[in-house]
A and B are shown apart, each in its own frame.
Chain A
Amino acid sequence: MIVEANSVRFDSLSLDNGASLAPVDVAYETYGELNSKKTNAILILHAFSGDAHAAGISHETGKPGWWDNCIGPGKAFDTNKYFVICSNILGGCRGTTGPSSVNPATGCPYAMSFPVITVSDMVRLQKMLIDWFGIERLLSVSGGSMGGMQALEWAVAFPDRVVSAIPIACTTRHSAQQIAFNEVGRQAIMADPDWNEGNYYSHKPPARGLAVARMVGHITYMSDDSMREKFGRRLRGKENFGFDFDVDFEVESYLRYRGSEFVTRFDANSYLYITKAMDYFDLTNGQGTLASAFASSQARFLVISFSSDWLYPSYQSQEIVRALRTRNCDVAYVELQSNYGHDAFLVDVAEQTDLIRGFLASTYEKTQ
């Protein structure tokens, strides 16, 4: 499945912080065919560092999408049956307007003049895209991690627009620990002199800071078990310690590789803005209980967590489930056994496939 990147421009978007952005570009991809009644559309929501290229082989880069093992003909999100849409989030750096985009008012990249955005801003922009497609109700909204947070926001902000939601490995609001890891990443970027208060687009990007931020991120995405299995204390290309500060251990090599690779595809300012949006996210908006946040939601939910995910632990998914039960909402929940930590939602696909396929099929049936 060779896929093309698409883009659409909207005149403006009003933001939670009172500002508005004009214009706003949205990069998206689609897979499968929209049926004549437009009832088979599924919106896939990407995680923090993802992009619109969720599935298939990119026409431009030749690379598979980030959830290609879940989206495609006969896969969990079966493109023989459903029309799947994925767009790059607001504030991103992969085609949708973000801090690295050119501000038409100045002719220069927004950099830190980009307004601080929220997850609900991201979702409002996605809704503009769905309106543009002429889709009245999405059969499902689904994603892992921050993608799951967006799925929850969809179900709460636009209850009459979603038939079902599949939030995976996520939370209704960040804990102190989750905010703390994000803050370490932000500080690593801002401590890099090349960051230059965000004005680096005509110079060198803050590659060292961004790489360190990514290294921390990767640690939180794995588990003690998966790191032991993958690296243990194995040395990298040597028999003995080097007695210096070059790479000794495999795990060091892996993190350095991941860090430097990330720098080539991600914008440091986007890192700051998106992590801030995640930290601000609170499904209750700081008012009332979680159950009251779901008051008008009519969606059917499939909530999935992973046993070894310590970044978004199962208790956070169980909080979602409990609140939905309090509202007597239709909710299925399972904690899948996995060693892969938070990465499991991208890696442990076999387990998820039957769940998602069965859930979507029965949801689709109910709408026909």
Chain B
Amino acid sequence: MTAESSHKQAFVPELLGRSDYAIIGEIVEPNTKVLDLGCGEGELLQWLAENKGVDARGVEISGAKVQRAIARGVSVYQGDIDEGLADYPKGAFDYVILSQTLQQTHKPLKVLREMLRVGRRVIVAFPNFGHWAVRLSMAVGGGAPKTKLFPYNWYDSPNIHFLTVRDFEALMALQGLVVERRYFLSGRHKVHFLPNVLAEVAVYLLSGSAGSTASPQGPG
């Protein structure tokens, strides 16, 4: 992220009630082919199809959600993200989106690698476990953190991996994956410093092509 861009548009409009969707909606170029993993009821895909003319596909594990997605006209198939990508040919999509689901997959790195195989670009949004509220909840309460972002009890949480902005940056560097753009959000505001402390949600645009590696920004 450059210094200039950090002063532009500190306020993020919401899309379908979510600011990470607004970022995704901004990133995705018109008339492209998009696969949304863990697409729920397909709201984002429907928005992208209607407003950006994208060819929208989705994967979702919950049959009830798949039903509602298909009923709204989105091509979604019921399946498991951890296994579901193997059938797709290389480079089948312009974008593969994983929104707030990475922490719920069994093998996140394998999923990321598969996403980069089937997509030219990958958009990953995840809740930041390094956010100050999480740190505070754990430091003060002494139990597994429960916050607005992580509202579950430890025994019924769908989240099975906990990652911070710092962790994700480290993984990108270790794996040599190219971060094209990164966005940090707190509520409806962009966060421009100490993202590992202040960001509730991080949105990354990755590409698999081994080109010029963007220098990782020092997370807080």
Does A361 lie at the interface of the complex (its beta carbon under 8 Å from any beta carbon of B)?
yes
Measured between alpha carbons, how far is A336 from B63 in the docked complex, in Å? Answer: 7
Q: Which residues of A contact B68 (CB under 8 A)?
A: 354
In B48-93, which residues have CB < 8 Å from any A CB? 55, 57, 63, 66-79, 87-89, 92
Least CB distance, A326 to chain B, in whole angstroms: 5
Number of interface residues of A (CB under 8 A): 26
Q: A302 at interface (Cβ–Cβ under 8 A)?
A: yes
Given contacts A300-B75, A321-B77, A337-B63, contact A332 B70 (CB under 8 A): yes
Q: Is the CB of A355 within 8 A of B88?
A: no
* Inter-subunit contact A332/B77 (CB<8 Å): yes
Contacts of A331 in B (CB 8 A): 75, 77
Report whether A355 and B70 are in contact in the complex, using a CB–CB cutoff of 8 Å: yes
Interface size on B, residues (CB 8 A): 21
Which residues 305-344 in A have Cβ within 8 Å of B in the complex?
321-322, 325-328, 330-337
A358 is an interface residue with CB less than 8 A from chain B: yes
B140-166 residues with Cβ-Cβ distance < 8 A to A are: none
Picked from A330, A333, A357, the residue with its CB within 8 Å of the CB of B71 is A357
The total of interchain contacts (Cβ-Cβ below 8 angstroms) comes to: 65
A325–B63 Cα gap in the complex (Å)?
Answer: 19
Distance of A332 Cα from B72 Cα, bound (Å): 12
Are A325 and B87 CB-contacts (below 8 A) given A332-B76, A334-B77? yes
Q: Is the interface of B mostly helix, strand, loop or mixed?
A: mixed
Using Cβ atoms and an 8 Å threshold, which residues of chain B touch A354? 67-68, 70-71
* A334, B75: Cβ atoms closer than 8 Å: no
Residues from chain B with a CB closer than 8 A to the CB of A322 are 87
B57 CB contacts on chain A under 8 angstroms: 330
- Nearest to A314 among chain B residues (CB) is B78
Nearest residue in A to B66 (C-beta to C-beta)? A334
Task: Report how far A337 CA is from B63 CA in the complex, Å.
Answer: 8
- Which of chain B's residues has its CB closest to A318's CB? B79
Q: How far is the CA of A348 from the CA of B55 in the complex (A)?
A: 30
* Docked-complex contact A332 and B75, CB < 8 angstroms: yes
Residues of A within 8 A of B74 (CB): 332, 362
Which residues from 48 to 75 on chain A have a C-beta closer than 8 Å to any C-beta of chain B? none
Known contacts: A300-B75, A325-B88, A331-B75. The answer to whether A336 contacts B67 by CB under 8 A is: yes
19 A–B contacts, CB within 8 A, in A order:
A302-B70, A303-B77, A325-B77, A326-B88, A327-B89, A328-B88, A330-B75, A332-B66, A332-B74, A332-B77, A334-B66, A335-B63, A354-B68, A354-B71, A355-B70, A355-B71, A358-B70, A362-B72, A362-B73
Question: Which 3 pairs show the lowest CB-CB distances between chains A and B?
Answer: A362-B73, A358-B71, A333-B77
Q: A355-B67, A361-B73, A362-B74 are in contact. List 17 more A-B contacts (CB 8 A).
A: A321-B77, A321-B79, A325-B77, A325-B87, A326-B88, A327-B89, A328-B89, A328-B92, A330-B57, A330-B75, A331-B77, A334-B63, A334-B78, A336-B63, A354-B67, A358-B70, A358-B72
